[in-house]
Amino acid sequence: MALDYKAAGVDIEAGYRSVELIKKCVAETNRPEVMGGLGGFSGAFSAAAFKGMEEPVLLSGTDGVGTKLKAAMILDKHDTIGIDCVAMCVNDVACAGGEPLFFLDYIACGKNIPEKIAEIVKGVAEGCKMSECALVGGETAEHPGMMPDDEYDIAGFSVGVVDKKDLITGADIKAGDTLVGIASSGIHSNGFSLIRKVFEMSEESLKKYYDELGETLGEALLTPTRIYVKALKALKNGGVKVKGCSHITGGGFYENIPRMLPDGINAQIEKNSYDIPPIFGLIAKTGGIEEHMMYNTYNMGLGMVLALDPADADKAVEILNAAGEKAFIVGKCVEGEKGVTLC
């Protein structure tokens, strides 16, 4: 028998079928600047999006979904993982004041099952639509012999732009500034390696219903990451100047909030200023995890923390709530060692 690529474990025809299944959802993410369609060797995007800026600055972000994928694989639910991947990238771009322009995804799998790949990419496309970011390309790579047939990994890459004068750097943050938090949708996409030590990763465990959650564990864990692009754009359009912005990802409060702070400024967060989603209490109780570790691992209910002039705080909360977010005044900046203090 003649040896061919399919016998070696790579099904080129399955790749073609995957592309056909995702063409429509990818096309729905197009912006006017997108040039050409799927099938080219690169994604083309016109610079018309930012040619009117005084000093355009390109921003980029890349990330994956981490071991949250394990829960998706066990439950065979793949339609929201793509949203997570987009969110992790575009939120970082938006955090600097930027507008995400385009996105690319990379999916590595043991075996290309076109329907599964299509589900994943439909989630990517949905995330792109939520952030008004064009999906201009991607890659699905089969890794037979390196990955089990039913497993996959996904990573994403986003490019955005901001006029230099609108760049959010945190350099102007000073003592007395107000901290505003925007609610997360739950765990988002960080800390799942610890979760997998707390809960058994089995279909039975993930399908267990918890009264305090009002849903199953798997449903809570797979809730997609909140995308904050439109919320931050609403603040800009409303005339609110964001001095500093922190996307609360891996490392929780203690690692991420200081990233926006200048030296000599301490962020004081009032723990009781907002409602902490019950999933975090369940994790802490079940795993016997101390409070500091929880705040050093998870977003604890806040996906973004913004530093603002006190005069803008109430207006910012109003704008964010009108944009469909849940926003709270959660603390203030004081003089002290750069870092975070929970009160």
Tell me the per-residue pLDDT of 213-249, one tens digit each, with 9 for 90 and over.
Answer: 999 999 999 999 999 999 999 999 999 999 999 999 9
- H/E segment holding residue 83: helix 81-95
* pLDDT tens profile 95-117: 999 999 999 999 999 998 889 99
CATH of the domain at 53: 3.30.1330.10
Does residue 210 carry a pLDDT above 70?
Answer: yes
286 shares its domain with 317 = yes
Range of the domain at 224: 178-342
182 shares its domain with 327 = yes
Q: Which amino acid is at 303?
A: G
Q: What is the pLDDT of residue 1?
A: 52
The pLDDT mean for the chain works out to 93
Determine, yes or no, domain membership for 5.
no
Determine, yes or no, domain membership for 158.
yes
Determine, yes or no, domain membership for 101.
yes
Determine, yes or no, domain membership for 171.
no
d(CA 54, CA 102): 21
Strands (DSSP E) contained in the chain are: 34-35, 44-45, 56-64, 99-109, 134-142, 152-163, 178-183, 209-210, 215-216, 244-247, 265-269, 302-308, 327-335, 339-342
Torsion sign over Cα 309, 314, 315, 319: positive
231 shares its domain with 317 = yes
* Tokens 């995702």, residue located: 22
Determine, yes or no, domain membership for 329.
yes
Q: What is the pLDDT of residue 27?
A: 84
38 shares its domain with 127 = yes
Average pLDDT over every residue of 148-168? 96
139 shares its domain with 231 = no
Determine, yes or no, domain membership for 173.
no
273 shares its domain with 132 = no
Instruction: Write down which residue in 96, 131, 166 finishes a domain.
Output: 166
CATH of the domain at 237: 3.90.650.10
115 shares its domain with 201 = no
197 shares its domain with 333 = yes
Does residue 19 carry a pLDDT above 80?
Answer: no
Does residue 268 carry a pLDDT above 60?
Answer: yes
Determine, yes or no, domain membership for 318.
yes
Instruction: Write down which residue in 122, 138, 166 finishes a domain.
Output: 166
225 shares its domain with 310 = yes
138 shares its domain with 188 = no
What total of structural domains would you count in the chain? 2
Instruction: Write down which residue in 140, 166, 192 finishes a domain.
Output: 166
161 shares its domain with 200 = no
Does residue 10 carry a pLDDT above 90?
Answer: no
Determine, yes or no, domain membership for 133.
yes
Q: What is the pLDDT of residue 275?
A: 94
Q: What is the pLDDT of residue 4?
A: 55
94 shares its domain with 155 = yes
Strand, coil or helix: what is 270? coil
Q: Enter the pTM of the model.
A: 0.93
Q: 65-91 in b/e burial notation, b at 16+ Cβ within 10 A? A: bbbbbbbbbbbeebebbbbbbbbbbbb
